[in-house]
Amino acid sequence: MTEKPGEKANIPALSSIVQSIPPSGIRRFFDIAASMKDVISLGVGEPDFVTPWTVREAAIYSLEKGQTNYTSNYGLLELRKLISAHLAKLYNVEYNPDNEVLVTVGVSEGMDLAMRALLNPQDEVLVPEPCYVSYRPCVMLAGAVPVAVPTNQETRFTPTIAQLEKLCTSRTKAILLGYPSNPTGSVMSRQELTDIVALAQRRNLFLVSDEIYDRLTYDGEHCCVASIPGARERTVTLNGFSKAYAMTGWRLGYACAPAEILHAMMKIHSYTILCAPITAQKAAIEALKTAEPIVKDMMQEYNRRRRYIVKGLNAIGLTCHLPEGAFYAFPSITSTGLSSTHFAERLLFEEQVAVVPGDAFGQSGEGHVRCSYATSLEKIEAALIRMSRFVEKIKLESSGPEKTAKPVSSNRIA
């Protein structure tokens, strides 16, 4: 039967899992900010640098040579060997390039593969929050249940063993770690991670460790979870080229795990993706061979901005710990009396500065906003001036005889 014009077709219901997943709170803000003029964005989570020239050139050259074919499902062996050597050099952790390294379409794909390979329906995964927006949905899309482990400023946004222990049930299958953290910039020490590994051994859990910001660790050494004795056999290490090499648009990452786990991930990858794009793989080979000095330069620049933005935020009364990694500051906005969403909305509409409300990263992010400093120092400086004006205005509103603050309707950003 065909419908009449204007009549809605009768189609089956969409996946209930997909329908139960809320849209990303980050996207909403991007879309609105993109439609406005003169916005300074501290919203984006990607480097403002362009991919190093030698890397782009290698990709162009590979195209010129007509290298436009599929690669092995695992990815180019040359790249896997380089990834394996890179991790051995940095963290003293050994992965066999033949069957323990899989080249993926970003950490995004690696995370999805890990969840689908490790989890059965109704399994539970402990997810310290606030955390990157895709963690919960990836667990849910695998039919499993994310269990939030709320963290706060007092514990440097890292979970305690007591907390994790308390939330473990007979259904708990894995702990998902993402340090250095997006959005808090927190890192976990080797000792803290060692305690988590011991817990995973005691409870027989997998560990999935998203280490995409490993190269953006400022004050100490990054600890690769798999390098901790006893961790490797139960850990999936996820990493990629997006952040350290400013290669977000190339969509390239990698997953490393013991052969049996990696093989399960590869099975899904071979049926759904087939292989990561060859041009991006050629670029990544060059990145690992030659871009190290540029990675260090970018890191130094982020470090300069990190100190600047944190000082500025604290000076205007938005208490902010010094993030130890990644490129996000996560100040508290509770002194303004506004909710995270209300703060971010008003700041965007009244001062044209885009930040992301902390609750986009889990409920325990409420009371904070995420400010990315992957943008120029000049823009950060200008954003801080606008934010200072905004905070002063809020103070006046709440202390003045007339309350001029007009609440923005909660569905203004839908």
Q: Which stretch binds ligand PLP (CB under 6 A): 65-73, 79-87, 100-108, 305-313?
A: 100-108
Q: Pick out residues in 372-401 that bind ligand PLP (CB under 6 A).
A: none
Q: Which of 153, 248, 314, 334 binds ligand PLP (CB under 6 A)?
A: 248
Residue 182: CB minimum distance to ligand PLP, A:
4
Q: Which stretch binds ligand PLP (CB under 6 A): 102-110, 136-144, 193-201, 333-341?
A: 102-110
Q: Which stretch binds ligand PLP (CB under 6 A): 76-84, 106-114, 149-157, 159-167?
A: 106-114
Q: Pick out residues in 177-196 that bind ligand PLP (CB under 6 A).
A: 178, 182
Q: Which of 41, 62, 84, 108 binds ligand PLP (CB under 6 A)?
A: 108
Question: Measuring CA to CA, which residue among 87, 25, 11, 136 is closest to residue 360?
Answer: 25
Residue with smaller CB distance to ligand PLP, 82 or 107: 107
Give the contact letters, 31-70, x = binds to ligand PLP (CB under 6 A), - = no: --------------x-------------------------
Number of residues that bind ligand PLP (CB under 6 A): 13
Report residue 319 as tokens.
């208490």
Q: Is 128 in the site for ligand PLP (CB under 6 A)?
A: no
Kindly report each contact of residues 29-36 with a partner whose C-beta sits within 8 Å and lies 24 or more positions away, as own/partner.
Answer: 29/344, 29/348, 29/354, 29/355, 29/356, 29/357, 29/413, 30/354, 32/348, 32/413, 33/348, 33/354, 36/348, 36/352
Q: Is 84 in the site for ligand PLP (CB under 6 A)?
A: no
Q: How far apart are CA 147 and CA 172, in angstroms?
A: 9
Residue with smaller CB distance to ligand PLP, 168 or 187: 187
Q: Is 137 in the site for ligand PLP (CB under 6 A)?
A: no
Q: Is 24 in the site for ligand PLP (CB under 6 A)?
A: no
Q: Report how many helices (DSSP H) and strands (DSSP E) the chain contains, helices first.
A: 13, 12
Q: Which stretch binds ligand PLP (CB under 6 A): 5-13, 101-109, 148-156, 254-262?
A: 101-109
Question: Measuring CA to CA, which residue among 96, 102, 109 is closest to residue 72?
Answer: 102
Name the residue whose CB lies closest to ligand PLP. 106
Residue with smaller CB distance to ligand PLP, 239 or 336: 239
Residue with smaller CB distance to ligand PLP, 177 or 205: 177
DSSP labels, 243-308: TTTT-GGG--EEEE--HHHHHHHHHHHHHHT-S--HHHHHHHHHHHHH-HHHHHHHHHHHHHHHHH
Q: How far apart are CA 145 and CA 143, in angstroms?
A: 7
Residue 155: CB minimum distance to ligand PLP, A:
19
Residue 46: CB minimum distance to ligand PLP, A:
7
To 10 degrees, the CA torsion angle through 215, 221, 226, 231? Answer: -150
Residue 108: CB minimum distance to ligand PLP, A:
3
Give the contact letters, 190-229, x = binds to ligand PLP (CB under 6 A), - = no: --------------------x-x-----------------
| Segment (H or E) for 77 | helix 77-91
CB atoms within 10 A of CB 409: 9
Question: Measuring CA to CA, which residue among 92, 44, 110 is closest to residue 261?
Answer: 110
Q: Is 10 exposed, middle or buried (0-12, 13-18, 19+ CB in 10 A)?
A: exposed
To 10 degrees, the CA torsion angle through 407, 412, 413, 414? Answer: 130
Q: How far apart are CA 331 and CA 145, in angstroms?
A: 29
Q: Pick out residues in 330-359 that bind ligand PLP (CB under 6 A).
A: none
Residue 374: CB minimum distance to ligand PLP, A:
10
Name the packing angle between helices 377-399 and 292-315 (round to 10°). Answer: 20
Residue 75: CB minimum distance to ligand PLP, A:
14
Type of residue found at 353: V
Which residues of the shown chain bind ligand PLP in the complex (CB under 6 A)?
A: 45, 106-108, 132, 178, 182, 210, 212, 240, 242, 248, 253
